[in-house]
């Protein structure tokens, strides 16, 4: 398995975990709402409203995670490019990035990669840039040394 394939797999696993966590939370909230409905009084209305609000938030998070999962399915691990694109590993003089989704730090095979979104501020600076391009981010000067 290539490094790109491993990174994509890790991203998918993390999104799957996120989705499962949201589904579990949604089920717990639904159970709480159902049990509150059985012995409802006026005092419970505020708590009921909070539960409904939490349910709505978690359903929105789940929907976002599903969109992220769908987005990850667009990444092709066998495509090579001279410029940074979705699915690229971009090595710089300071750190290595995996352009995919905002997952954050991934430690893999004694290396550290930062999974970032194309739409993130640093993703915007990297996308479509070739090797030897330099840019500044958070007062640090980066130079792209390799694109895989």
pLDDT digits (tens, 9 = 90+) for 7-34: 999 999 999 999 999 999 999 999 998 8
Q: What is the pTM of this model?
A: 0.88
Please tell me the distance from the alpha carbon of residue 127 to that of residue 85, in angstroms, as a whole number.
Answer: 5
Task: Give the strands of the sheet with 104-108, arranged side by side.
Answer: 104-108, 111-117, 96-100, 89-92, 140-147, 134-137
- Taking the C-alpha atoms of residue 98 and residue 88, their distance in angstroms, rounded to an integer, is 6
Question: Is the model's pLDDT at 44 over the cut of 70?
Answer: no
Domain end call among 22, 43, 72: 72
Judgement on whether residues 107 and 46 belong to the same structural domain of the protein: no
Indicate if 9 and 65 belong to the same structural domain: yes
Residues 11 and 53 in one domain: yes
The answer to whether position 79 is within a domain reads no
Nearest to 122 by CA among 108, 137, 107: 137
- Residues 66 and 102 reside in one and the same domain: no
Instruction: Give the per-residue pLDDT at 33.
Output: 87
Q: Are residues 60 and 11 located together in one domain of the fold?
A: yes
The boundaries of the domain holding residue 102 are 89-147
The total domain count for the chain is 2
Q: Model confidence over 76-94: pLDDT tens digits?
A: 999 889 999 999 999 999 9
Do 105 and 60 have their domain in common? no
Are residues 126 and 81 in contact, defined by beta-carbon separation less than 8 angstroms?
no
Q: Are residues 58 and 104 in the same domain?
A: no
Q: Tell me, yes or no, whether 78 lies in a domain.
A: no
17: nearest Cα among 54, 55, 68: 68
- The C-alpha atoms of residue 107 and residue 81 are separated, in whole angstroms, by 24
Q: Are residues 58 and 20 in the same domain?
A: yes
């Amino acid at each position: 398995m290539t490094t790109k394939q491993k990174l994509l797999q890790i991203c998918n696993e993390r999104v799957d975990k996120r989705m499962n966590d949201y589904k579990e939370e949604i089920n717990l909230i639904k159970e709480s709402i159902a049990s509150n409905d059985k012995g409802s009084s006026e005092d419970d209305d505020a708590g009921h409203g909070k539960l409904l609000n939490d349910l709505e938030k978690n359903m929105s998070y789940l929907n976002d995670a599903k969109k992220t999962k769908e987005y990850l399915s667009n990444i092709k691990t066998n495509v090579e490019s001279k410029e940074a694109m979705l699915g690229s590993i971009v090595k710089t003089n300071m750190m290595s990035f995996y352009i995919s989704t905002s997952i954050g730090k991934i430690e893999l095979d004694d290396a550290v990669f930062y999974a970032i979104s194309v739409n993130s501020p640093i993703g915007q600076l990297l996308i479509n840039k070739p090797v030897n391009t330099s840019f500044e981010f958070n007062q640090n000067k980066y130079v792209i040394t390799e694109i895989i």
